[in-house]
Amino acid sequence: MKKYKHTTTFTYLGKVYKVRADTIEDLYMKKANKLRDLKENIVIYNSNTTLDQWADIAFDTYKKDTTGLYDMKKRYKKYVSPVIGSRPIGSVKAVQCQEILNGCSGMSFSHVEKLRQEMSFLFETAVDNQLIPFNPAKKLRLPENVKGSRRSITEHERAHLLACYEKDPAYLLFFIILKAGCRPEEAVNLIGRDIDHQKRLLHIRGTKTKNSDRYVPISDDLYAAIKNTRPFDPVAPNREGRKHTKSSYDRLCAHLRRDMNISMGCKVYRNALIPPLPLADDFVPYCLRHTYCTDLCKAKVDIRTAQRLMGHANISITANIYTHVDIDDIMKAGELLEAYYNS
């Protein structure tokens, strides 16, 4: 780092700023220019900008309308900011980024991969804006992680889900995921104008991949439930009639699990469920999207059409779900054959 002959500091709106220069004339010129920029609210980003400062502008500028922005910021504040957030972005090293990922060892593949992508995004946009010469998070290696697989719900679970929906219209959100294959956040964002009444199609305005923006057919029972939605009203609102927030969605998920457990015969004492709980621990709303894809396969829908309906970026993702169904069919064939042999 270059050493300057002269240094001065000044305070503006409670914050101390330091200016350096080789001559007294340049020093006072730099100070005057800096003070002018501050008064005119001109923000100057460079390699001395902290990562926290850059994260604020990068997320809100480049990810403003991205589904999942709340979760991105939450992951950043929990895992990245405490370690390197206060450091000048130009001083962050690859090893520091790798240590952050290594600290998530044993967590889900989805979590560590998202964190890796988001760190790389922050530094890559900094490179694009000429704040730094290279991206220190470009070649990070994922630590040991757990790869969980989504599953389809069982027919038993489907029956009790539908029973809960019949009793409580608030569960329309989950019925949409089951019947249209939406991602949960896509279902939350649906509004009345996304319903094509003439063609009976639902416009899912996804942003996760280039294939996420898509149209899916609306089943008769789903259309009956959503056809009267006004153009700018949420199709599946919260209990106050407004779009779901993160907290209202989480509460609805918790209520669904509770109601399904009770529907399945779980006893309640003083408003608390008595273990063992009949609903499987791995039941989450995303399983309903997986079930929709499984239903497409069982209905003999072509796999490429299914890829479009699911909004998958890669057909291999769709194929993996179709393969699981094929294995189930093969096992059922084996059971039938064994029953025939023993008859």
Per residue in 52-70, pLDDT tens? Answer: 999 998 998 888 777 678 8
Torsions phi, psi for 108 (to 5 deg): -70, 150
List the domain boundaries for the chain: 6-39, 51-128, 155-338
> One fold for both 51-128 and 155-338?
no
Q: Are 273 and 266 in contact (CB under 8 A)?
A: yes
How is residue 244 written in tokens? Answer: 């779901």
* pLDDT of the chain, 343 residues: tens digit per residue: 567 788 888 886 566 778 888 888 888 888 888 877 766 655 567 888 899 999 998 998 888 777 678 888 989 999 999 999 999 999 999 999 999 999 998 888 888 999 999 999 999 999 999 999 999 999 999 998 876 657 899 999 999 999 999 999 999 999 999 999 999 999 999 999 999 999 999 999 876 666 788 999 999 999 999 999 999 999 999 999 999 998 999 999 999 999 999 999 999 999 999 999 999 988 999 999 999 999 999 898 999 999 999 998 788 878 888 877 766 676 677 777 778 778 7
Largest CA distance in the chain: 103
Pairing between strand 213-217 and 201-205? antiparallel
Cis preceding linkage at 133, omega within 30: no
The answer regarding whether domain 155-338 maps to CATH 1.10.645.10 reads no
Pick the CATH number of 51-128 from 1.10.150, 3.40.50, 1.25.40, 1.10.3470: 1.10.150
